Amino acid sequence: MIEVQDLYFVYPSGVEALKGVSLTIQNGEFVAVMGENGAGKTTLVKHFNGLLKPTRGKVLVDGVETTKVSVATLARKVGFVFQNPDHQLFSETVEEEIAFALKNFGFSSEIIEKRVTWALNLLGLAQYRKTSPFMLSGGERKRVALASVLAWDPEILILDEPTIGQDCQQKETLRQFILQMKEQGKTVVIVTHDVEFVAECNPRVLLMRNGKIVADGEARKVLTTPEILTQASIVPPQIAQIFLQLSELGFPKEVIDVYEARDLLLKALRRPS
């Protein structure tokens, strides 16, 4: 469980990035942190694994205050994938990159081999096993960074803009994997501008603006409330935009799922005139 208590954070430049944020993320939750650039999203989640320390307030992971333990200790429990993969890639080959943390955590060579192969196959990277990660495209490097974290199976996974540079098939693979992690009781937190991806997943949404949380709720509720989204400079998903218009004809407003939208439209077409 992640507990954030009246969190303030001020950068050395004097910019106050977080202003009294309080929230609790339960074990097994899937949470999307959304908002415009500069809202404080990445600053907030960097507190979850101790990369940043509170200027004021507290952050606790499973009851332990993040200021009381090292980043290395927290990393075993909280995996973090940066928005820019070049900030965490350094090994000569993809295989070595994925194996690095496993070796540091003391896994046996047999388990390391199995976990590396599993992660490569999961993210479609097997053909790049012996390739330098810096020879890959931006989207492929993003997947290498993700694979290097998934390999050690953290209890909490933080993903900063995970869908950037990924095609539709790769996004669906990511969505399915997140849902699988949820079923296993893992906690997943993503920072994202990708409203369509969030709509497909329907997680809990934390909407941020100017260092504060301005909305907290199920995606289907938050992403279909235009006045809240306008505050955070977020455009509703396409399905939501359509059904907000169709609500004048009696359709429900809180629709973000394409399959639910299809069923509602087919039912309306079959209705006797």
Q: Domains of the chain (ranges plus CATH)?
A: 2-236 (3.40.50.300)
C-alpha 85/C-alpha 210 separation (Å) is: 26
Query: Kind of pairing, strands 78-81 and 156-160?
Result: parallel
Looking at per-residue pLDDT, the higher value among 31 and 165 belongs to 31
- Give the pLDDT score at 69: 93
C-alpha 76/C-alpha 68 separation (Å) is: 15
The CA-atom distances, in angstroms, between 192 and each of 47, 149, 158, 180, 269 are 17, 18, 11, 20, 35
E strands present in the chain:
2-10, 16-25, 30-35, 56-61, 64-65, 78-81, 156-160, 187-191, 204-209, 212-218
- Give the pLDDT score at 215: 95
Q: In 3D, which of 246, 244, 200, 206 has the Cα closest to residue 226?
A: 244
**pLDDT digits over 85-99, tens only?**
888 888 899 999 999
pLDDT at residue 273 is higher than 80: no
**pLDDT digits over 225-260, tens only?**
988 898 888 999 999 999 989 988 888 988 998 888
Confidence of residue 272 (pLDDT cuts 50, 70, 90): low
Predicted structure pTM score:
0.90
